[in-house]
C-alpha cells in the first residue's frame, strides 16, 4: 500500500474525488437552467439516455439495421400528408 504521509489534504481530496460526476437520471437531479433557457431543453440535455450513463453512447446509435416488419408497421401508423404525395 502507498504511504500517504507526504500527501497534502488537497492531494488526498483530488485522489478521492470521482473522475466523472454521476449522470443525471431524473429531472429532480438536474440543475436549474439559466433564466433565458427553456426548462424542457435544459432538462433534456442533462438527462442521460440510460440511468448511470454519462457521456456518449458506447456505440453509434444508428448502427442497428431496422427490421422490415417494424418499418412497414411504422409507415402504416403515420398517415401521409398532402405534402408527401409525389406528383
* Cell digits of residue 43: 432538462
25-29 contacts, C-beta under 8 A, 24 or more apart: 25/51, 25/52
Model confidence pLDDT, tens digit, residues 3-59? 656 778 888 777 777 565 666 666 677 677 777 777 777 777 766 555 555 556 566
Does the pTM surpass 0.75? The reply is no
User: CA 33 to CA 55: how far, in whole Å?
Assistant: 19
What mean pLDDT comes out for the span 59-67?
63
Q: Are 52 and 29 in contact (CB under 8 A)?
A: no
Amino acid at each position: 500500500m502507498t504511504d500517504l504521509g507526504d500527501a497534502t489534504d488537497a492531494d488526498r481530496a483530488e485522489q478521492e474525488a470521482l473522475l466523472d460526476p454521476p449522470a443525471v437520471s431524473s429531472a429532480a437531479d438536474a440543475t436549474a437552467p439559466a433564466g433565458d433557457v427553456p426548462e424542457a431543453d435544459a432538462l433534456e440535455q442533462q438527462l442521460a439516455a440510460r440511468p448511470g450513463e454519462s457521456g456518449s453512447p458506447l456505440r453509434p446509435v444508428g448502427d442497428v439495421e431496422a427490421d422490415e416488419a417494424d418499418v412497414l408497421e411504422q409507415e402504416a401508423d403515420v398517415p401521409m400528408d398532402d405534402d408527401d404525395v409525389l406528383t
